[in-house]
A and B are shown apart, each in its own frame.
Chain A
Amino acid sequence: MIERILILLLFLVGFSGILARKNIIKKIFGLTLINSAAVLLFVVEGSRVGSQAPIMEQGISQVVDPIPQALMLTAIVIGVCVTALALALAFRLYQAAGSFDIDEIRRRVHDES
């Protein structure tokens, strides 16, 4: 149970980062955090049925459910891509507006257009 509560806390920290922080870098960190929380949730879910890594060799029994792990590898890759792209966009926004503050950026962009 404790691991699920910790995952929930991690998720909430990330989500509040996306919503309440003005700094876009912190927003991106928030996104990474909620993504990691979802990944951990799946991995914990897979470990309900066993405890050993699902590498089929002799003497290995009681493996965890391998499907959530396979899914989460994909989800991690996607998460890295999204984070990298978001950081690249943040860099462009900083070049254009000279600030990481979302309100400030919005104001600058509106002035220019």
Chain B
Amino acid sequence: MSLEDMVFLPVVLPLLGAALALCAKVFLTGRASRILEYTGVFIGLGLPWLFFVYITPMMYAGQAVSGVIGAWHTGVGIMYRFDGLAYLVNILGFSVAAAAWVYALGAGPKGPSFSSVFLIQTASLAAAIMTADLFNLFVCLEVLGIASYVLIASSDKPGAALASFSYLMVSATAMVFFLLGLYGLYRLTGVLSYEGIASALNQLPDAGGPVALVSLSLIVAAVAMRVAVMPLYGWLPDAHALAPHAISAVLSGVLIKTPLFALSRVLMLMPAGASAGQLMGYAGAVTALAAVVIALSQKDAKRLLAYHSISQIGYIVSAWGAAIQVGTTTGAGVVLMAAAFMHAFYHALFKGLLFLSIGTTVDRAGERNVYVLRGAGRILRAHGERFPVTLICFLIGALSISAIPPLNGYASKAAISYALKGTPHYYLLFAASIGTVASFIKLSRIFWPTPKGSAAVLDDVPAAIPWPIHLSQIFLGLLCVIGGLAAPALFAFVLRLISAGGADVAISLKFYSSGTMIKTLIITASGVLLFLGAITPKGSALLKRVRERRRDFEGLFVSFALGTAALAGWLLL
């Protein structure tokens, strides 16, 4: 098997697994069906790791595999490119997907049809990040979308179908606008591959003029909607809060980041990509701060986490946008892009962990309101958890997202603030970190012990927590700790992969210096103060107004139109 064929394994193996799982549902029952389904999942989520291990040295040496699918000639066939970025995003996707699938084994949804859709989603993630053809990107994003609508609606909560429907409508509409943007670029250039479009545009007078800019902004806005950058975030809180916990972990951890990194390939080549990246960077920094304020006001535990996903994706987008702006061929751009990926990866780990551990807790407690639920530790103990695994996992996740050393969130936020030092983004992100600390103090109140006797009374001996739940939580928790401790080495690895093994980028980043420690102390102390301010009557009245602001279906489309118009205006002026 040649290397050109092997790079398709992360796409083909999950699809094969999905087919096996579907066969297990249709043709077999009982034990045989389960065996075939698990085989399919192992093929889909396990075997690609062999390929990743095998290809690591080549990626480290800066090699990239690219070509045309099916050996068609370049004008007609679909171009692909498997490079360091694709490798890294695949690692991110497959590690969280494996943990989430194991969790679903214990907490549901389970069964061959779930596994099958889940594997299709994983395959489309891998395909989206390695394609270099604009229409193929459209197809990958649509398959990704369809799989995630199904998975969100697989929850039996009444709101889940509505959340899925709203997401479907706004996302499918955005994808039609993506097609219109694609039409504009095809009309100008007559090709579909990223490189072909970029070089044809560069030869046109004025790089294609307004038509090219409007087309590009339609494409960027449609992808930005999947990424949930403000103002295009409206669909996310409901969808992520109401999906089954395992799906929430994958949605937040992987699904909102893959389109972003796939988009970076387009923007890095386009003539107007740099200024589009610049605007995205500003939008990201504002998103980080605005979403954390809304998160602080939430009362539903999972909705609070969902708003934090928007806020953290804001961190990633601001570093990512700045990287596109200066170009990833420069040293500064490489550091920014590596910092953005580090935070994307670590956020996937700790947010996955938070969704899983909070999911376990609220399921056992039967209560999701953070103002009502107290003494969750005791409830978990009543469910046979002698050693408080879930509590510890929650703490690891919460401390990570609040950037407390030596956990991974601290390391990646240190990398982002190092890379963004001296820009306006830096101050917005600094303020957002304070809000993050405050809202996680608020969330961790669900574990505050209650006076004896007033805890929820459990009338019968409840079922023990199944082992897959613990296994997946421990797996992600360990990765969070290791990710934090090994951050310097990992950051150097990511830098090398992003710069395609090129000249070593000089960085003077010390992860554990006294300066960053003092900064952490300041942020944590301000976070505590902000939390104390938020629970005063005035503070809670203000937050209540933020929480109960008007949100409706039409607002999703209005914000999409406004976002697209803003981007087009920015590029044209």
Q: List residues of chain A with CB under 8 Å of any chain B CB.
A: 15, 18-19, 24, 27-28, 31, 34-35, 38, 41-42, 45, 67-68, 71, 74-75, 78, 81-82, 85-86, 89-90, 92-93, 96, 102-103, 105-106, 108-110, 112-113
Chain B residues within 8 Å of A82, by CB: 142, 145-146, 168, 172
CB distance from B151 to the nearest CB of A (A): 12
Nearest residue (CB) in A for B170 is: A18
Chain-A contact segment, one of B53-61, B156-164, B386-394: B156-164
Chain A residues within 8 Å of B76, by CB: 67
Choose from A28, A90, A113 the contact partner of B158 (Cβ within 8 Å): A113
Question: What are 10 A-B pairs at a CB distance below 8 A?
Answer: A19-B554, A38-B183, A41-B180, A74-B139, A81-B146, A89-B149, A89-B153, A93-B165, A106-B553, A113-B158
**With A75-B179, A113-B158 given, is the CB distance from A86 to B186 under 8 Å?**
no
Are B168 and A85 in contact (CB-based, < 8 A)? yes
Nearest residue (CB) in A for B187 is: A45
CB distance from A23 to the nearest CB of B (A): 12
Are B153 and A27 in contact (CB-based, < 8 A)? no
CB distance from B158 to the nearest CB of A (A): 5
Told that A67-B192, A108-B158 touch, could you supply 15 new A-B pairs with CB distance under 8 A?
A18-B169, A28-B169, A31-B176, A34-B173, A71-B135, A78-B142, A82-B142, A82-B168, A89-B149, A89-B161, A89-B165, A89-B168, A103-B552, A105-B162, A113-B159
CB distance from A75 to the nearest CB of B (A): 7
Nearest residue (CB) in B for A71 is: B135
Choose from A15, A31, A41 the contact partner of B172 (Cβ within 8 Å): A31
Chain A residues within 8 Å of B192, by CB: 67, 71
Chain A residues within 8 Å of B557, by CB: 18-19
Are A86 and B169 in contact (CB-based, < 8 A)? yes
Are A93 and B162 in contact (CB-based, < 8 A)? yes
Chain A residues within 8 Å of B162, by CB: 93, 105-106, 109
Contact of B150 with A by CB under 8 A: yes
Nearest residue (CB) in A for B136 is: A74
A28 CA to B162 CA in the complex, in Å?
14
CB distance from B374 to the nearest CB of A (A): 21
CB distance from B138 to the nearest CB of A (A): 8
Interface residue ranges of B121-158 to A (CB < 8 Å): 135, 138-139, 142-143, 145-146, 149-150, 153, 157-158
**With A74-B139, A89-B168 given, is the CB distance from A96 to B158 under 8 Å?**
yes
Give me the 7 closest cross-chain CB pairs, A-B, nearest first.
A38-B179, A92-B161, A89-B165, A109-B159, A78-B142, A112-B158, A34-B176
Chain A residues within 8 Å of B146, by CB: 78, 81-82, 85
A18 CA to B168 CA in the complex, in Å?
12
Chain A residues within 8 Å of B183, by CB: 38, 41-42, 45
* Binary per-residue interface labels of chain B (325-364) against chain A in the complex, 1 for a CB within 8 Å, 0 otherwise: 0000000000000000000000000000000000000000
Choose from B142, B165, B552 the contact partner of A86 (Cβ within 8 Å): B165
CB distance from A60 to the nearest CB of B (A): 19
A42 CA to B182 CA in the complex, in Å?
10
CB distance from A102 to the nearest CB of B (A): 5
CB distance from B191 to the nearest CB of A (A): 9
CB distance from A80 to the nearest CB of B (A): 11
Chain A residues within 8 Å of B150, by CB: 85
Are A35 and B158 in contact (CB-based, < 8 A)? no
Are A68 and B186 in contact (CB-based, < 8 A)? yes
Chain A residues within 8 Å of B186, by CB: 42, 45, 67-68
A112 CA to B142 CA in the complex, in Å?
31
Chain B residues within 8 Å of A71, by CB: 135, 192
Are B157 and A113 in contact (CB-based, < 8 A)? yes
Nearest residue (CB) in A for B554 is: A19
CB distance from A40 to the nearest CB of B (A): 11
A18 CA to B179 CA in the complex, in Å?
18
Nearest residue (CB) in B for A31 is: B172
A35 CA to B178 CA in the complex, in Å?
11
Nearest residue (CB) in B for A37 is: B176
Are A92 and B153 in contact (CB-based, < 8 A)? yes
CB distance from B221 to the nearest CB of A (A): 15
Chain B residues within 8 Å of A90, by CB: 165
Are B142 and A24 in contact (CB-based, < 8 A)? no
Interface residue ranges of B488-529 to A (CB < 8 Å): none
Choose from A24, A35, A112 the contact partner of B165 (Cβ within 8 Å): A24
CB distance from B120 to the nearest CB of A (A): 12
Interface residue ranges of B14-65 to A (CB < 8 Å): none
Are A31 and B159 in contact (CB-based, < 8 A)? no
Chain B residues within 8 Å of A68, by CB: 186
Are A102 and B153 in contact (CB-based, < 8 A)? no
CB distance from A95 to the nearest CB of B (A): 9
